[in-house]
């Protein structure tokens, strides 16, 4: 198992994507914690739903995109770990996808908070 880690870490795309995703998730968490006290009770988080109360979420539900990003990042990193020896390209796709999910969830929260404030 240790050899898999070493082999995975030597790939710059995989390592950069995983580290970038982790850093974005940490920034996401810090951003939410810093602005949590300044936010109103309800936030317009579910923009794909019809207009009205269905779009609104509470302050604690603003952590949902972060949770999704963390779950995707962890599952894709584990999948990349097991797939790297046989299919390195698929492992790179998984890691880059997790980075993109982290970026999009961070952008969603930044836009939502900046609209509300």
Instruction: Say how far apart CA 21 and CA 73 lie, in whole Å.
Output: 7
Q: Is residue 1's pLDDT more than 70?
A: no
Q: Is residue 3's pLDDT more than 80?
A: no
Per-residue pLDDT at 96: 96
> Torsion angle of alpha carbons 109, 114, 116, 117, nearest 10°?
130
Instruction: Say how far apart CA 113 and CA 68 lie, in whole Å.
Output: 18
Please report where in the chains the tokens 């968490």 appear, as a residue: 29
More confident residue, 78 or 4: 78
Q: What is the pLDDT of residues 51-93, one digit of tens each?
A: 888 888 898 899 999 999 999 999 999 999 999 989 999 999 9
Q: What is the pLDDT of residues 101-116, one digit of tens each?
A: 999 999 999 998 888 8
């Amino acid at each position: 198992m240790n050899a898999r880690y070493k082999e995975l870490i030597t790939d710059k795309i995989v390592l950069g994507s995983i580290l970038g995703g982790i850093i974005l998730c940490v920034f996401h968490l810090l951003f939410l914690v810093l602005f949590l006290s300044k936010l109103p009770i309800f936030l317009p988080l579910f923009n794909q739903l019809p207009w009205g109360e269905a779009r609104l979420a509470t302050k604690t539900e603003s952590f949902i995109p972060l949770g999704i990003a963390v779950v995707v990042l962890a599952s894709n990193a584990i999948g990349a770990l097991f797939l790297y020896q046989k299919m390195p390209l698929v492992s790179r796709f998984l890691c880059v996808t997790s980075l993109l999910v982290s970026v999009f969830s961070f952008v969603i929260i930044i836009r939502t908070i900046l609209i509300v404030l």
